[in-house]
């Protein structure tokens, strides 16, 4: 149970971030790619912050001594949020009103 909740939470965030950014950026293929890049960067930051939070009191110490540890953990977590983000991005064009896919 200690592993399931963070994974589900990360997957939900990975679905919501591109969806919410899709409401902000214009429609179009180029903007879909921009959404993907922004979503990936935002999800990397969110997952790194999540790891700092999960570490509890030790998170601040590890952050000061070896911040790259959380960057690597965030990159490894990309195996969870990456596919979910791509699925969320692929669902965006079907809601476009002006641009044609």
Going by C-beta distance under 8 Å and a sequence separation of 6 or more, which residues neighbour residue 51? 59, 70, 73, 74, 77
d(CA 15, CA 97): 21
- In tens, the pLDDT along 32-65 reads 999 999 999 999 999 999 888 888 888 888 888 8
For residue 93, the SS3 value is helix
Give the mean pLDDT of 2-8.
86
CA distances from residue 83 to 10, 11, 22, 36, 64 in whole angstroms, order as listed: 12, 9, 17, 12, 31
pLDDT (0 to 100) of residue 1: 59
């Amino acid at each position: 149970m200690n592993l399931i909740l963070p994974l589900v939470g990360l997957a939900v965030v990975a679905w919501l971030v591109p969806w919410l950014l899709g409401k902000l950026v214009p429609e179009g293929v180029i903007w879909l790619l921009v959404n993907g890049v922004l979503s990936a960067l935002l999800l990397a930051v969110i997952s790194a912050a999540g790891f700092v939070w999960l570490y509890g009191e030790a998170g601040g110490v590890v952050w000061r001594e070896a911040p790259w540890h959380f960057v690597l953990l965030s990159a490894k977590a990309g195996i969870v949020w990456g596919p979910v983000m791509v699925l969320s991005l692929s669902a965006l064009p079907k809601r476009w009103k002006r641009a044609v896919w």
